Structure formats: C-alpha cells, structure tokens
Amino acid sequence: MTVGEFADFLRLHPAMRLHSSTIYRLLRQGKLRAFKVGSDWCFSREAIDRWCPIELKTKH
C-alpha cells in the first residue's frame, strides 16, 4: 500500500482523516513503519493494523 492508498484508506474511517502530507510527517517522525520501493513508501497491512487502533484510541 502506498502513501496515497493509505491516505485513501484512512479517509474511509470517520475518526481518521489524514492528508498524505501528515502521513509523510509521521514517517519522518518514526511514528509509522514503512519501507521504500524506489521513490515510493509502502506499508504492510500489519503495520497499518498496529498503528490505526492506537491512533483511534488517542483521538477519542
């Protein structure tokens, strides 16, 4: 999953509206785990599943 796909995925959840620039910032801060393929950042489903529940808990 790329940054754009991840942003689209998060927009589907009402509590998780993040712009792709926010995702890039979280990557730089080390708050999201991802890997690069060429110039694209890619996320594993496991990394997303680990991150989303934590973020959802802190937003409520």
- Does 52 or 34 have the greater pLDDT score? 34
Residue 2 three-state SS:
strand
pTM: 0.60
Asked if 4 contacts 46 with a C-beta cutoff of 8 angstroms, the reply is no
Task: Reply yes or no on whether the pLDDT at 42 is more than 70.
Answer: yes
Find the domain containing 17 and state its range.
3-59
Residue 54 scores a pLDDT above 60: no
Q: Distance between CA 41 and CA 34 in Å, rounded?
A: 6
- Count: domains in the chain: 1
Q: What's the pLDDT score for residue 38?
A: 92
Give tens-digit pLDDT for 8-30. Answer: 777 665 556 677 788 888 888 98
